[in-house]
């Protein structure tokens, strides 16, 4: 089946530094990538949607200059958290979709802790 | 604004019992209704999904019941097992490129199956 590999699974960084999270679709072309943020015991909140080769569309309230999304190829999308602060600590999850199909494949998530 | 309302927030079921989780939506443009299972520290995994042209779909111990007129759908887990203890999310999406096909998640139900 479709697999999305997300790395790293855990990262601890110092306040003010930047962190990059990668999601790769291993056996299909991810024409659309979704990035979610999840706080403990809460639901997944959509941060942004990106289509390969296009600029990401950010949800209301999500700072596009802080959460940089790159989707330069059909198999790779990255989320960079710039100038991270403790309040950015969360679980970040990517999800990939191919074409107009309705199958969404989720990555295993990245636990970001900013100290 | 939560587009998909999910209940209950938490559920305790004895081994062998039936777990039932309910969801409701308002947006009639939604045409894809998946259920996801999430274990702590992991990304969501698709359990089962349904389209609005059928009223029920069964896969193994998992059944989705769908009521289009009431705009409600539910997940039934038959013969619940301790290994089913996880958080369950319902979701809905629209087959419209305007929406980006993004999934709208319910708030989640924490299921505990006791031995």
Q: B95 vs A102: CB contact, 8 Å cut-off?
A: yes
Predicted confidence at residue B102, as pLDDT, reads: 87
- pLDDT < 70 regions, chain A: 100-101
Q: Return the sign of the alpha-carbon dihedral for residues A41, A43, A48, A53.
A: positive
What is the average pLDDT across B10-29?
97
Predicted confidence at residue A45, as pLDDT, reads: 94
State chain B's mean pLDDT as an integer: 94
Predicted confidence at residue B97, as pLDDT, reads: 60
What confidence tier does B101 reach under pLDDT thresholds 50, 70, 90? Answer: confident
Predicted confidence at residue A1, as pLDDT, reads: 72
Residues in contact with B40: Cβ distance below 8 Å, sequence separation at least 6, in sequence order: none
Neighbour-count burial of A61, counting CB atoms closer than 10 A to its CB (0-12 exposed, 13-18 middle, 19+ buried): exposed
Predicted confidence at residue B98, as pLDDT, reads: 59
Residues in contact with A88: Cβ distance below 8 Å, sequence separation at least 6, in sequence order: A66, A81, A112, A114
SS (H, E, C) B59-73: ECCEEEEEECCCCEE
Tell whether the model's pLDDT for residue B24 goes beyond 80: yes
Distance CA A76, CA A31 (A): 10
What is the average pLDDT across B7-24?
98
Tell whether the model's pLDDT for residue B25 goes beyond 90: yes
Number of H helices, E strands in chain A: 0, 11
CA A73, A78, A82, A86: dihedral to nearest 10 degrees?
A: 170
Q: Is B106 on the interface with A (CB under 8 A)?
A: yes
Q: B41 vs A109: CB contact, 8 Å cut-off?
A: yes
Predicted confidence at residue B100, as pLDDT, reads: 67
> Which of B103, B107, B109 is the best residue to mutate to test the A interface, defined by the most A CB atoms within 10 Å of its own CB?
B103
What is the average pLDDT across B10-37?
96
* 3-class secondary-structure state, position A88: helix
- Closest partner residue to A111 (CB to CB) among B41, B107, B110 is B41
Higher pLDDT, B56 or A2: B56
- Closest partner residue to B43 (CB to CB) among A41, A57, A93 is A93
Predicted confidence at residue B15, as pLDDT, reads: 98
Distance CA A62, CA A100 (A): 25
What is the average pLDDT across B43-49?
94
What is the average pLDDT across B68-96?
95
Predicted confidence at residue B99, as pLDDT, reads: 59
CB A56 within 8 Å of CB A48: yes
Q: A106 vs B110: CB contact, 8 Å cut-off?
A: no
Residues in contact with A61: Cβ distance below 8 Å, sequence separation at least 6, in sequence order: none
Tell me the CA distances in angstroms from B73 to A52, B43, B46, one per residue in order. Answer: 33, 23, 16
Structure token pair of residue B111 = 């299921």
Identify the closest residue of chain B to A6 by CA–CA distance: B43
Predicted confidence at residue A2, as pLDDT, reads: 84
Write out the DSSP string of B42-103: S--EEEEEE-TT-SEEEETTEEEEEETTTTEEEEEESS--GGG-EEEEEEEEES-GGGTT--
Residue B115: name the closest of B8, B9, B11, B17 by CA: B17
């Amino acid at each position: 089946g479709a697999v999305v590999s997300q790395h790293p699974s855990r990262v601890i960084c110092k306040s003010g530094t930047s962190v990059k999270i990668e999601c790769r679709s291993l056996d299909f072309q991810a024409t659309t990538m979704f990035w979610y943020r999840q706080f403990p015991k809460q639901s997944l909140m959509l941060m942004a949607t990106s289509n390969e080769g296009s600029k990401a569309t950010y949800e209301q309230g999500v700072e596009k200059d802080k959460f940089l999304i790159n989707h330069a190829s059909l198999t790779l999308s990255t989320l960079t958290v710039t100038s991270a602060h403790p309040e950015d600590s969360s679980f970040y999850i990517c999800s990939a979709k191919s074409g107009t199909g309705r199958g969404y494949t989720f990555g295993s998530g990245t636990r970001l802790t900013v100290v | 604004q939560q587009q998909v309302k999910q209940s209950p927030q938490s559920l305790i079921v004895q081994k062998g019992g039936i777990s039932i989780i309910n969801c409701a939506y308002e947006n009639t443009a939604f045409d894809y209704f998946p259920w996801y299972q999430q274990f702590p520290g992991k990304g969501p995994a698709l359990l089962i999904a349904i389209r609005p042209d059928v009223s029920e779909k069964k896969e193994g111990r998992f059944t989705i019941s769908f009521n289009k007129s009431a705009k409600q759908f539910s997940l039934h887990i038959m013969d619940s097992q301790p290994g089913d203890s996880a958080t369950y999310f319902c979701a809905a999406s629209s087959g419209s490129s305007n929406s980006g096909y993004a999934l709208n998640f319910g708030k989640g139900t924490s299921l505990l199956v006791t031995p």
